[in-house]
Structure 1
Amino acid sequence: MADATTASPSMISAASVPDERIPPRRLFAFLIMVFGMFMSILDIQIVSASLNEIQAGLSASSSEVSWVQTSYLIAEVIAIPLSGFLSRAFGTRLLFAISASGFTIASFFCGFASTIEQMIVWRALQGFLGAGMIPTVFASAYTVFPRSKFYIVGPIIGLVATLAPTIGPTVGGYITDLMSWHWLFFINIIPGIGITIGVLILVDFDEPNFKLLEHFDWWGLLFMAGFLGSLEYVLEEGPQYQWLQDTSVAICAAVCLASAIAFFWRVLTAHEPIVDIRTFGDRNFAIGCLISFCVGIGLYGLTYVYPRYLAEIRGYSALMIGETMFVSGVAMFLTAPLVGRLMTKVDMRYLIAFGLCSFALGSYLMTWITREYDFYELLVPQILRGVGMMFAMVPTNTIALGTLAPERVKNASGLFNLTRNLGGAVGLALINQVLNERTDLHISRLHERVNWGNAMAVETLNMFTQRMQGMGDSARMAMKQLSQIVHRQAVVMGFGDAFFMLAVFYVGLSLLVVLMNKPPALAAGGGTGH
């Protein structure tokens, strides 16, 4: 294991904090911020299990209600990279207080929304204002605390970043079932007020630099908003509207391309760029971001696939889906302290590879999925998913951000968190595309096999016909029921294909760790760097 004396000067400067003891006030302030980050990430998925109730309550169409999630995601993706600049300008204390209070106010108005248009506007503001809390916590973890304490703070933020979206459907299902969908938003108000006050009183990590605001790059913000906002729209809407065959998707794709070119030109030429992409020149940070992007695919992709299978094939309610999905959350919670300890003893690159392979194994076990898969069949794959996520995410966070010079961490944290969210958007688009295409393929293949020459198909059809005698056109109703069975089987086979794709992808991704520079060992106590 490498000694910290072999680390580069930037790594040593990042680690050199005079006092190794964490003051209780500072730790408590950090935990308050972590809870704010948890709320912000949780709200991405908390509405996913309750969209039908929100749709009914606001008299919205199915396409309109999907924007309750999409508007939040688009706004959040734009705000996350912006937070690096704002954190340097306003300081951690002021930016976090603004984010927490804005998020709370927007949550209040979301709960009282009476039309879908109002809901979409307030959800966008909720996502934009709340997004600043996420990278600010990551940056604080790796600049405020000494390197020897990373094995404690790393698992805390890694657990929150992965656990919040995983248990989002569970929490949302319980709240909607016990009260109403309005409380998905009202539940944020009391904690949000407490977080805002707590941060204003306790956080003293750094000082603001308001002079930076004189150089705020409005053109850079405009180009970044056009690039990331339109990209998120294309990824969200593309799979269901045949991509560029839809006019709005094609227009947004063109806006995305033009804005991307303008954005990258601007950040490379501006005196004070809104985002410093030169941080990608650090190999560990660049590869860490790539792994974070790919982990985002699985994190958000499977949080989408499992509920969809349980709802469409098993007919589960939102509450039952939440209870089934809770297994992964428990696995993550129990794994986090273990990962923290192992980071002080084992090369973190091996931990990442183990996590990615565990995730791949969990996905591979699901390739044999049938329509009979229930809680116990999903148990081991979900445990492997939770364990794999923690082993992959926590060391990746530490390698990517914990070895950067302190003055680069705030900007880098915004970019790092952006990659995870973009990975989630890309993952959902790819998984939807695979499910659509493979389901259509399996339907056509099954229809070829289910014909009058297939004895089992004829026997099943006759059985259905006999059951429906005296209920009208029994032959036609039997044919319709058989067709539904064929379609359901094709959908299940499509799910199996999606899981197989993820398994192969994550096995390949685990090989990327060999490209990382060996990080210095974390100390489990005492001085830094040993």
Structure 2
Amino acid sequence: MRGKTAMAGATMDDVRPHRAAPIDPMALPDRTKFLIFGVMAFGQFMALIDIQIVAASLNEVQAGLSAGPDEISWVQTSYLMAELVMIPFAAFLAQALSTRWLFALSAGLFTLASTLCGMAWSIESMIVFRAVQGFVGGAMVPTVFATGFAMFSGKQRAMIPAILGMVSVLAPTLGPTVGGWITEGAGWRWVFFVNVVPGAVVTVLALTVIRVDRGDLKMLGRIDWVHLASMAIFLAGLEYVLEEGPKNGWFDDLWIAGAAWVALVAFGLFIERSFRSSRPIVKLTPFRSPTFAFACVFNLVIGFGIYAGTYLVPLYLGRVRGYNAAEIGTTVFIAGVVQFLGVPIAAGLSQRIDPRIMVTAGLSLFAAGLWLFSFMTPEWGFAALFWPQAVRSFAIMLCIVPSVGLALNGWAGPELRYASGLFNLMRNLGGAIGIALVNTWLGDLTRLHMLRLDEAMGASPLAAREAIAGLARRFEAVTPDPDHALAMSRAVMGNVLVREALTLAFNDVFRLMAWLFLAALILVPLCRPPKQTARPIEAH
């Protein structure tokens, strides 16, 4: 009877305080560690791919929910805002609930939210469900990084940055591809329903196999609600400003200006509570390490490149080439293939050479890949985009693998969790900043090139009139009305000019991004690789 009682109590060991010895995740059998890591990495993949999985399907979602152009962007914005809040909060929840229960709850609620997104009956319901999906799914992202570094050491640990780096890059890269194929084949609702079966499997496996630490439920009664609220308002407000700013003239819009001020005040309160609260939600102590701080800056730049690059190429294919969702997915698929092939190479190099050398090579090669994009013409398709995508995709693995090692090696216990949350937050913030900036640059540069093209046509009015007249004569073959033919020719000429101006703007944006990556090289000599730690994740 006593044995049965002990077994029953053991099932809740990881969610309540007790006097049992801490669990050492490094002492687990290799087979168990690989199974735990595989389950958690797949959960992370689900959470990250859903950031961009609707990117190629927004037009279909908009039509299906009868949403306006301004409303549909919130399908993305609400997810990103909520996910940003959860990523740093996950470290606290992992200590309170344990990794097992936090990850299982995150995967299960993410699956439920995905189902609700697929069943959405209006744009308002979709926005709410997407916010829930982003919030609950965000806990899986930093948790797997912290757990992987806590379980493995030596050569096995060297594979963690490579695998998780691939997941972090591959998921948002493949998002538009997978979303486009699913939408074309089964309809936009299946973009969300596709998560149900794998999400349920991850939830069950998480409850079954994850045993790496124990929780302390008493922490839930010691939450600094002011700290949590200020963090949520700051991050959500910042994401709102970055998402909506390029479309609404930034601070010329009253709502955006107001959100910026509120976010700034919340940020000040968040910093104050981070240092003065006896029960902080997020501890900023990892930033005391210069190496961690520099690694976070690298991750900010990497996030900029990943998300902005993933955003720009499908945008070019849709707006300039007129590709549909399936054609866009097929064209960008090569990026995912190259990233996958680059994982063993990056992992091998990370064990042999100084991470600063890898970062230097990665940033330089990424800049070269972006520079190759800056020579696009309105006719570029799969073949022309192959090498620019391949170079950029391989380079990102050389960037992210050493940056993860620089950031997370040397931490243990709760500090490892906090470091993982802050590090992953920087990547997502970099992506939000990147998309906002490239949208602003693209709009401004398109208008600038349109003015220059108009000036060029004004400088040669006779040639312009002859070109329009030549088009009009061709259209007279299909319409007997000469005025109609002339109007059609002017419309075609206008579309050609817009297409050329937009292509030139894309080229300029890619050049600006290339210079940004080269500028980040200045920080590389300032990094000092940390010493690896072998302490367990538990700290009770």
What TM-score comes out, normalization by structure 2 length? 0.91
Q: Which residue of 2 aligns with 1:319?
A: 326
After superposition, residues 400-415 of structure 1 pair within 5 angstroms as 400-415=407-422
Q: Which residue of 1 aligns with 2:235?
A: 228
Q: Which residue of 1 aligns with 2:72?
A: 65
The one of 194, 208, 228 aligned to 1:187? 194
1:477 corresponds to 2:488: yes
Q: Which has the higher contact order (CA 8 A, sep 6+)?
A: 1
Change (3 A) 1:314 1:245: same
Structure 1 unmatched runs, 5+: 1-16, 524-530
Q: Which residue of 1 aligns with 2:339?
A: 332
Which residue identity does 2:113 align to in structure 1? A
Q: Which residue of 2 aligns with 1:435?
A: 442
Q: Distance in 2 between the 1:257 and 1:481 partners? A: 47
Deviation, 1:471, is 4.2
Q: Which residue of 1 aligns with 2:184?
A: 177
Q: Which residue of 2 aligns with 1:496?
A: 507
CA contact (8 A) 1:343 1:522 kept: no
Q: Which residue of 2 aligns with 1:395?
A: 402
Q: Distance in 1 between the 2:76 and 2:322 partners? A: 23
Q: Which residue of 2 aligns with 1:508?
A: 519
The one of 48, 51, 72 aligned to 2:58? 51
Deviation, 1:468, is 2.0
Q: Which residue of 1 aligns with 2:135?
A: 128
Which residue identity does 1:217 align to in structure 2? D
Deviation, 1:108, is 0.9
Q: Which residue of 2 aligns with 1:445?
A: 452
Which residue identity does 1:488 align to in structure 2? R
Q: Tell me, what secondary structure is at the counterpart of 1:450?
A: helix
Deviation, 1:163, is 0.3
Deviation, 1:147, is 3.5
After superposition, residues 70-469 of structure 1 pair within 5 angstroms as 70-451=77-458, 453=460, 456-469=463-476
Q: Which residue of 1 aligns with 2:12?
A: none
Which residue identity does 1:448 align to in structure 2? E
Which residue identity does 1:200 align to in structure 2? L
Deviation, 1:278, is 2.1
**Root mean square deviation, CA, Å:** 1.7
Deviation, 1:183, is 0.7
Change (3 A) 1:472 1:458: closer
Once the two structures are superposed, residues 95-142 of structure 1 have per-residue CA deviations (whole angstroms, 9 ceiling, x without a partner) of 001100110111111111111111111110000001000000011111
Change (3 A) 1:204 1:156: same
Which residue identity does 1:253 align to in structure 2? A
Q: How many residues align?
A: 507
Q: Distance in 2 between the 1:264 and 1:520 partners? A: 28
CA contact (8 A) 1:344 1:521 kept: no
Deviation, 1:283, is 1.1
Q: Distance in 1 between the 2:25 and 2:424 partners? A: 29
CA contact (8 A) 1:44 1:72 kept: yes
What TM-score comes out, normalization by structure 1 length? 0.93
Q: Which residue of 1 aligns with 2:39?
A: 32
Once the two structures are superposed, residues 73-98 of structure 1 have per-residue CA deviations (whole angstroms, 9 ceiling, x without a partner) of 00001111100111111110010011
Q: Distance in 2 between the 1:409 and 1:459 partners? A: 69
Q: Distance in 1 between the 2:511 and 2:130 partners? A: 35
CA contact (8 A) 1:226 1:259 kept: yes
Q: Tell me, what secondary structure is at the counterpart of 2:444?
A: helix
Q: Distance in 2 between the 1:34 and 1:47 partners? A: 21
CA contact (8 A) 2:472 2:482 kept: no
Structure 2 unmatched runs, 5+: 1-23, 535-540
Give the share of equivalent positions with the same residue, in percent: 42
Once the two structures are superposed, residues 403-442 of structure 1 have per-residue CA deviations (whole angstroms, 9 ceiling, x without a partner) of 2234411011111111000100000111011101111111
